Amino acid sequence: MRYLIFILTIVAAWLLIPESAIRSFAENHISGDGEEAMDSLELAVIAIKAGLSIILAFIGNIFYAKAR
């Protein structure tokens, strides 16, 4: 059951975290011009979104374990 909650939390967080907020945050920190900067921006957005999703899933699992 814990694994199912973990996976569902990751999917829900991935879908519900607004990409526009992460993109505007990352745009301020990535410098450069052209295709390389856009590739770096896309990778940064995906990495930040994945990191936040995993952190939220771990927090959800901790709350589930304590409630049990």
Predicted pLDDT at 59: 92
Question: What total of structural domains would you count in the chain?
Answer: 1
47, 53, 54, 59: CA torsion to nearest 10: 150
Parent domain of 51? 2-67
Summary mean pLDDT of the chain: 89
The pair of structure tokens assigned to 52 is 């936040």
Non-local CB neighbours of 8 within 8 Å, separated by 6+ positions? none
What are the tens digits of pLDDT across the range 7-31? Answer: 999 999 999 999 998 998 888 888 8
Predicted pLDDT at 46: 93
- 14-38 burial string, b = 16+ CB within 10 Å, else e? beeeeeeebeeebeeebeeeeeeee
